[in-house]
Amino acid sequence: MEQSSINPDTSRNTALFERAKKLIPGGVNSPVRAFKAVGGTPRFVQRAQGAYFWDADGQRYLDYIGSWGPMILGHGHPVVVEAVQKAVLEGFSFGAPTEREVELAEEIVRLVPSLEMVRLVSSGTEAAMSAIRLARGATGRSKIVKFEGCYHGHSDALLVKAGSGLATFGSPTSAGVPPEVVQHTLVLEYNNVAHLEEAFALHGSEVACLIIEPICGNMNFVRASVPFMTRCRELCTQHGALLIFDEVMTGFRVALGGAQSVYAQSIPGFKPDMTVMGKVIGGGMPLAAFGGTRAVMEQLAPLGAVYQAGTLSGNPVATACGLATLHEVQKPGFYDALGARTRSLVAGLTQAAAKAGVPFCGDSEGGMFGFFLLEQLPQNYATVMGTDGLAFNRFFHAMLDRGVYFAPALYEAGFVSSAHSASDIDATVDAAARFFAGN
Ligand SMILES: *Cc1c(COP(=O)(O)O)cnc(C)c1O
């Protein structure tokens, strides 16, 4: 990577942001893009290729966001571009079934052993919301269990934080969500086995499902411990609740079989009952899915009584993009190489910080990583949010000025693609080392 300038020109980004703010609330179409947490001017992306994007001022950035996960092959992968171009010429959307939907469903079911059937939708939010409706319909129960810090999209019942006590249900985290809508959502502390046991002892017979990000990328990067995940599985089975893995971020990102394949290595026979996917399966196009056992999935309309639908569901261009992406990640050694490269980034940053005496730790799985300006990896949301936001912001901006684009908030994970080279990683570590050393 060539040396990037310090304090890049941001005049066109700034002008675009001003224009955007006049018409689009906050100037953005999804809040984290606004740089509110870190301050400064969001970069308006003009184009991207491989591991890089270029902003409206012509500055180049090494991209560790990759559209928040989908771009696992980097931007503009030739095989994916070709598949999309071909699909576009055949038509954008039909509202009638297509062969590619069948192919994509076959591919997903083949690669993720817990799935017997899937339905395709257009966003992770929609997939998680639909999975919960289906879990409620299939069990005839109302209550759901989620964990603080896990994000499952922005549907009403999931915009909720912990109530004042364990026995109490959550309170909304967004205006516009009536308390009655979240009164069936129980919010527990991540990785806290005692809370989990107590909650199931109190409410187990009324719980339709437990939804979890197995490796949580929405509180930076926090893994569910193996004992905790083991208890999640056991308690769901014991109480007749469905265990839903939200693998919108981790699916085809941390391993070919998703995070569930990672836990299956430590917990023999481990499987969730349902899985929610998105991001990588669309390769950057609006596409997501939810799936599970045949017995549960057959309760969906038109077979069953649980309604779910979508005008653009299984869109022919999106499925072409997703299929091409899934074909590429199945090439031999893909995840070994991606995992090794991502580990080398985290190890390099950790060593650079240690050399300068800066507290730092990080973790990764496959092409997903997180780091903290802390001595020890946090285990839950409260610890993540208790970290020094100002120190993170200084690090973020120093890296941005040096042409490295990390997530603009300390509670977000980062992503490495197969287009990131060893020299990209070295340049990143070098830029961080210069910052840690104070120059
Ligand atoms: C991104 C994400 C979602 C929401 O997906 P959208 O496509 O943004 O609606 C849900 N769950 C997890 C774990 C995610 O990372």
Residue at a domain's end among 289, 306, 329: 329
- Does residue 5 lie in a domain region? no
Protein residue closest via CA to atom 10 of ligand 1: 152
Pairing of strands 52-55, 60-63: antiparallel
Residue at a domain's end among 302, 329, 356: 329
Residue at a domain's end among 311, 329, 347: 329
Does one domain contain both 63 and 50?
yes
- How much is the pLDDT for 40? 94
Does one domain contain both 320 and 401?
no
| Count of the separate structural domains present in the chain | 2
Does one domain contain both 72 and 89?
no
> Tens of pLDDT along 75-101?
999 999 999 999 999 999 999 999 999
> Tens of pLDDT along 215-227?
999 999 999 999 9
> Tens of pLDDT along 270-284?
999 999 999 999 999
The CATH number covering residue 325 comes to 3.40.640.10
Does one domain contain both 49 and 95?
no
Residue 2 — very low, low, confident or very high, per pLDDT cuts 50/70/90?
A: very low
Quote the CA–CA distance of 69 and 32 in Å, as a whole number: 14
> Tens of pLDDT along 239-271?
999 999 999 999 999 999 999 999 999 999 999
Rounded to 5 degrees, what angle do the CA atoms 174, 179, 180 make? Answer: 135
3-state secondary structure 168-225: CCCEECCCCCCHHHHCCEEEECCCCHHHHHHHHHHHHHHEEEEEECCEECCCCCEECC
Residue 438 Cα, ligand 1 centroid: separation in angstroms? 36
Residue 408 Cα, ligand 1 centroid: separation in angstroms? 17
- Does residue 1 lie in a domain region? no
Residue whose C-alpha is closest to residue 122's, from 163, 102, 93, 144: 93
pLDDT for 421 beyond 50:
yes
Does one domain contain both 41 and 89?
no
- How much is the pLDDT for 7? 76
| Residue 279 is a catalytic residue | yes
Pairing of strands 185-188, 143-147: parallel
Sign of the C-alpha dihedral computed for residues 156, 158, 164 and 166 taken in this order: positive
Helices 389-401 and 422-436: crossing angle in degrees, nearest 10, is 120
- Does residue 4 lie in a domain region? no
Does one domain contain both 71 and 82?
no
- How much is the pLDDT for 206? 98
- Does residue 3 lie in a domain region? no
What are the backbone angles phi and psi of residue 374, rounded to the nearest 5°? Answer: -140, 160
Does one domain contain both 126 and 173?
yes
| Lowest-pLDDT range of 142-151, 155-164, 180-189, 376-385 | 155-164
Residue 163 Cα, ligand 1 centroid: separation in angstroms? 23
- Does residue 356 lie in a domain region? yes
Residue 218 Cα, ligand 1 centroid: separation in angstroms? 9
Quote the CA–CA distance of 40 and 173 in Å, as a whole number: 25
Mean pLDDT across the chain: 95
| pTM, rounded to two decimals | 0.97
- How much is the pLDDT for 170? 83
- How much is the pLDDT for 167? 56
Residue 354 Cα, ligand 1 centroid: separation in angstroms? 34
Q: Stretch 321-337: mean pLDDT, rounded?
A: 98
Does one domain contain both 321 and 409?
no
**Which atom of ligand 1 is the closest one to the Cα of 218?**
15
85, with CB counted inside 10 A (0-12, 13-18, 19+), is exposed
> Tens of pLDDT along 132-178?
999 999 999 999 999 999 999 999 999 998 776 655 678 899 999 99
- Determine the residue of 147, 219, 248 to mutate for testing ligand 1's pocket, defined as the one with the most ligand atoms within 8 A of the Cβ atom: 248
3-state secondary structure 316-331: HHHHHHHHHHHHHHCC
- Does residue 128 lie in a domain region? yes
Grouping H, G, I as helix, E, B as strand and the rest as coil, residue 373 is: coil
175, with CB counted inside 10 A (0-12, 13-18, 19+), is exposed
From 64, 151, 405, 411, the catalytic residue = 151
Q: Which helix (H) or strand (E) covers residue 247, if one does? A: strand 242-247
| Residue 86 is a catalytic residue | no
> Do 126 and 99 contact (CB within 8 A), yes or no?
no
Does one domain contain both 82 and 72?
no
**Which atom of ligand 1 is the closest one to the Cα of 288?**
7
Quote the CA–CA distance of 108 and 403 in Å, as a whole number: 36
Pocket of ligand 1 (CB under 6 A): 123-125, 128, 151-153, 213, 217-218, 246, 248-249, 278, 288
Protein residue closest via CA to atom 5 of ligand 1: 124
Quote the CA–CA distance of 109 and 439 in Å, as a whole number: 50
* Percentage of the chain modeled with pLDDT above 90: 93
Residue 415 Cα, ligand 1 centroid: separation in angstroms? 15
Q: How far is CA 114 from CA 57, 127, 306, 373, in A?
A: 47, 17, 21, 37
Does one domain contain both 344 and 289?
no
Q: Stretch 287-311: mean pLDDT, rounded?
A: 98
pLDDT for 196 beyond 50:
yes
- Does residue 16 lie in a domain region? yes
Does one domain contain both 245 and 182?
yes
Does one domain contain both 325 and 373?
no
Residue whose C-alpha is closest to residue 169's, from 188, 149, 195, 150: 188
Cis bond leading into 31, ω under 30°? no
- The rounded Cα 304 to chain-centroid distance in angstroms is 30
Pairing of strands 222-223, 242-247: unpaired
Domain holding 65, by residue range, is 11-76+332-436
**Which atom of ligand 1 is the closest one to the Cα of 246?**
13
Residue 186 — very low, low, confident or very high, per pLDDT cuts 50/70/90?
A: very high
Quote the CA–CA distance of 424 and 291 in Å, as a whole number: 37
Quote the CA–CA distance of 52 and 420 in Å, as a whole number: 9
**Which atom of ligand 1 is the closest one to the Cα of 123?**
7
| Residue 151 is a catalytic residue | yes
- Determine the residue of 72, 123, 146, 151 to mutate for testing ligand 1's pocket, defined as the one with the most ligand atoms within 8 A of the Cβ atom: 151
- Does residue 6 lie in a domain region? no
> Tens of pLDDT along 23-74?
999 999 999 999 999 999 999 999 999 999 999 999 999 999 999 999 999 9
**Which atom of ligand 1 is the closest one to the Cα of 213?**
13
